[in-house]
Structure 1
Amino acid sequence: SKKLRTEIAARGAIVTAKDRRPGLAVIVVGDNPASQVYVRNKVKACEDVGFHSVLERYSVDLGEEELLARIATLNADPAIHGILVQLPLPEHIASERVLEAIAPEKDVDGFHVANAGALMVGQPEFKPCTPYGCMKILESIDYPIRGARAVIVGASNIVGKPMAMLLLQAGATVTICNSKTRDLAHHTKDADILVVATGKPKMITGDMVKHGAVVIDVGINRLPDGKLCGDVDFDAAQYVAGWITPVPGGVGPMTITMLMMNTLEAAEKAAKL
Structure 2
Amino acid sequence: MRPQENGVPEPVRSGKYLRYVALGDSQTEGVGDGDDIVGLRGWADRLAEHLAIDNPELQYANLAVRGRRAGEVRSEQLGPALALRPDVATVVAGVNDLLRLRVETSTVADHLEAMFAALTASGARVATVTFPDLTRIIPLARPVRSRILDINDRIRAAAARHGVAVAEIARHPSVADRRFWSEDRLHCSPLGHQLIAAAVAHALQVPGSNDSWNEPPPPLPIPLSTQRRATAELRWAATFLGPWLGRRLRGQSSGDQRTAKRPQLHRIEGLRS
> TM-score, length-normalised on structure 2?
0.37
* Higher-RCO chain (CA-CA 8 Å, sequence separation at least 6): 2
Identify the structure with the greater helix proportion.
2
TM-score by length of 1: 0.37
